[in-house]
Amino acid sequence: MFLTKLLYQIATFNFIHCPEHVSPGKIMYELVYNGRIVEGTTKGVMKKTAGFYRMFSTERFSKWMQRESRW
């Protein structure tokens, strides 16, 4: 029972990565006006993150699935 529950939690875990670099004193300006890259594990979590950024960002951003972006 414990193992099944743990595996379910691992399988449904969503992860998003949005690397941000902002200059001191310009944090809010750069969050609103700088473009960004959004990388996620599923399309659903990327859609949620895109909606979050659209609330305050005026710039475009790129969305990448984790399995698509290999270094």
What pLDDT, on the 0 to 100 scale, is given for residue 67?
52
Measured in whole angstroms, the distance separating CA 19 from the mean position of its chain's CA atoms is 9
Q: How far apart are CA 11 and CA 57, in angstroms?
A: 31
What are the pLDDT tens digits along the chain (71 aa)? Answer: 777 777 666 666 777 777 677 788 888 888 888 877 777 777 788 788 878 888 888 776 665 554 544 44
